[in-house]
Structure 1
């Protein structure tokens, strides 16, 4: 049995170091490209695979739903495995799935590749987060999670625009890019990441946190945040397109969104270590809600030039909020069930995937029902309003439970 070695993330006279987790951040970078780039390539995919754009969009939906269902089950099945081994195998499956999509000769093969990639990705997300939480002192959880999630945020700023550019010649190239980046991360993890053994558990153990209504409601907040985000982000080109018709402009705007997400993630990661995660999350959620409401009003009633400027303000502010919500939400969930942190993170990964799928679906339903693209901001605002109320109720219940 391999000996567990804790990661030295800080020491006397030294500040927190991200170096031990760098290859995990590269892994999340590859997942970030995969999570966003397909939305901008649906017409090319549909034409090449001879399906409708709606069917091409199912390549995103099937990934999200597979990940939501598979995360807890696979997490339980592998819970007694050494953690680095779990990360390596899950990343390998994720890379394999993307290779299959990249070389698929027809739609069923591409769909199968997305399912395989989702199986690996769902386990990878939970394994990486649980690994970081287990080997990081509580006072540095915010910084560590921010660094790991920074890989995902960096993908929206760099990987997705690059993927969209090279995807104009072939939509398959971004999938190969994901596989290459994932392979680089895989090699780095195998060579540099220390081993770690954590207590295993049964499926009953893994799902036991769901017996706590307060925690279930906390997980639904994750779903609400992602649902509100993807209701608009999936169709961002429809919202921004009338104001910015040039192809390069959309790529530049997506780059700006990624930078905004990185900034939000970095700032809240440090704020969580100084203030309570609940306080930081409250500010972020209220900010996202106000941004959606003001953005919808401005885009619908403002003059064209003002609407164009405000569309950028709304989109970049949404990037800051969506990027900034992840760390305080994960930190809050970890404190709600400190003895089941790895399990809760697996369930949170499912909540993320579920929210992404629901948001894309609700946005599509709204458009089919006759809503304008700008009206999707109203859909997002409604979802976020419910999420804010739920957050306040969970916060109140948490204070009662802790007596604070």
Structure 2
């Protein structure tokens, strides 16, 4: 159990790094003398590097001992954050976020595969859920705490905080993690093979579009809710914590429901509710009480989509489950990466307070993609092309 908790702490460090920048974005922009939309590219670079590097690293380091790769990923993550804290110009800071994203791409998929190898087959689901709970915990605790540190001291202190988390996780991994044999070597072409099945492709497209919509507003959350916070960092940290608590609630609830309720129903309900929430955000973000409600609903329904999407992918192709889940993680981070650009475009077109309705457009596109995936699943002959898979028993 303690070995899984070490991995959970590592994903907590990765998740804190991924989400904390949004809370200190105005301070970073002022310090580097750039616009907030430009500073938002820090999130884009981190997430894009993670998304692109993750499958490549998994393919090229398949023969590495798992413990070595876990430690290396965490140390690279720490190095990237140290560089972000000390480098003097915006261009160099952007490059440092690529270093941190590479570390995250090395660690997170490896943590999932290691967790699976540490437990019997009948406990793998719970092991994976425990390890990935570190990401949800980061939204509820790590990112708000990092925001408080940044507002009370300086934004650079937040990056030192994340680097310390990564170093502690690396030390725990070195001391407590047993030697785990590397996974069988799988080439990059094999890892990308599930993409040739349009049912998988439209499911991954759903992830990409939904998380682009969700994070279009989150990347610039400080600006979106500035009327409610009055620019106060502590109030913003409380709001981020509310969003994070909602994320934990949504993830856990969706995990339980996915075994009892058709996945299509969970996805459609969650996307529809968060779409209404986003449509009302220009009004709800004016006042603190309504902002709390808006952020909690956003966290619950937004994160309630991820587990059903993973559930659908596993049901479609059990033998490719590890690869499909890895590709889904890449799609999640590609959506996060795109949100820096889409958010900047939304601010230019409609202002920061209009980012909710602007993000709604991507949510509706994601809903459409999910419906198309469901139709292909209902008629497997239309969805199967290159994988020659048996007709799956999948929650739709």
- TM tier relative to shorter chain: 0.7 to 0.9
CA distance in structure 1 between the partners assigned to 2:352 and 2:360 by the alignment: 14
Which is worse superposed, 24-33 or 241-250? 241-250
CA distance in structure 2 between the partners assigned to 1:35 and 1:106 by the alignment: 21
Residue 300 of structure 2 corresponds to 320
CA distance in structure 2 between the partners assigned to 1:242 and 1:390 by the alignment: 34
Query: By how many angstroms is 1:29 displaced?
Result: 0.8
SS at match of 2:229: coil
Which is worse superposed, 389-398 or 257-266? 389-398
Query: By how many angstroms is 1:294 displaced?
Result: 4.7
Q: 1:398 to 1:140 in 2, by over 3 A?
A: farther
Q: Name which of 154, 165, 186 aligns with 2:137.
A: 154
Query: By how many angstroms is 1:32 displaced?
Result: 1.4
Query: By how many angstroms is 1:254 displaced?
Result: 1.1
After superposition, the C-alpha distances for 1:321-356 in whole angstroms (9 at most, x for unaligned) are 223332232233233332233322332222112101
Which is worse superposed, 316-325 or 236-245? 236-245
Pairing 1:247-326 to 2, within 5 Å after superposition: 247=232, 248-272=234-258, 274-275=259-260, 279-280=262-263, 282-297=265-280, 299-300=282-283, 309-326=289-306
Query: By how many angstroms is 1:191 displaced?
Result: 2.3
Query: By how many angstroms is 1:319 displaced?
Result: 0.5
Alpha carbons 1:288, 1:384 under 8 Å: kept: yes
Query: By how many angstroms is 1:129 displaced?
Result: 2.4
CA distance in structure 2 between the partners assigned to 1:85 and 1:209 by the alignment: 28
CA distance in structure 2 between the partners assigned to 1:129 and 1:68 by the alignment: 16
Residue 81 of structure 1 corresponds to 64
Query: By how many angstroms is 1:142 displaced?
Result: 4.5
Residue 211 of structure 2 corresponds to 226
Which is worse superposed, 141-150 or 358-367? 141-150
Which is worse superposed, 29-38 or 381-390? 381-390
CA distance in structure 1 between the partners assigned to 2:93 and 2:187 by the alignment: 33
CA distance in structure 2 between the partners assigned to 1:290 and 1:108 by the alignment: 39
- Residue 356 of structure 2 is aligned to residue 384 of structure 1: no
Query: By how many angstroms is 1:217 displaced?
Result: 1.5
Query: By how many angstroms is 1:36 displaced?
Result: 1.5
Residue 24 of structure 2 corresponds to 41
CA distance in structure 1 between the partners assigned to 2:220 and 2:89 by the alignment: 25
CA distance in structure 1 between the partners assigned to 2:282 and 2:158 by the alignment: 32
Query: By how many angstroms is 1:133 displaced?
Result: 4.2
CA distance in structure 1 between the partners assigned to 2:298 and 2:374 by the alignment: 23
- Residue 342 of structure 2 is aligned to residue 359 of structure 1: no
Residue 217 of structure 1 corresponds to 202
Pairing 1:5-404 to 2, within 5 Å after superposition: 19-135=2-118, 140-168=123-151, 169-194=153-178, 195-245=180-230, 247=232, 248-272=234-258, 274-275=259-260, 279-280=262-263, 282-297=265-280, 299-300=282-283, 309-369=289-349, 371-401=350-380, 402=391
Q: 1:21 to 1:77 in 2, by over 3 A?
A: same
TM-score normalised according to structure 2 size? 0.87
Instruction: Structure 2: give runs of 5+ residues left out of the alignment.
Output: 381-390
After superposition, the C-alpha distances for 1:55-96 in whole angstroms (9 at most, x for unaligned) are 322222111222222222111101222333222222221121
The alignment's C-alpha RMSD in Å is 2.5
Alpha carbons 1:92, 1:186 under 8 Å: kept: yes
SS at match of 1:288: helix
After superposition, the C-alpha distances for 1:121-171 in whole angstroms (9 at most, x for unaligned) are 122222222333455566545533332222111112211122111112211
Instruction: Structure 1: give runs of 5+ residues left out of the alignment.
Output: 1-17
Q: 1:222 to 1:135 in 2, by over 3 A?
A: farther
Q: 1:170 to 1:294 in 2, by over 3 A?
A: closer
CA distance in structure 1 between the partners assigned to 2:321 and 2:63 by the alignment: 15
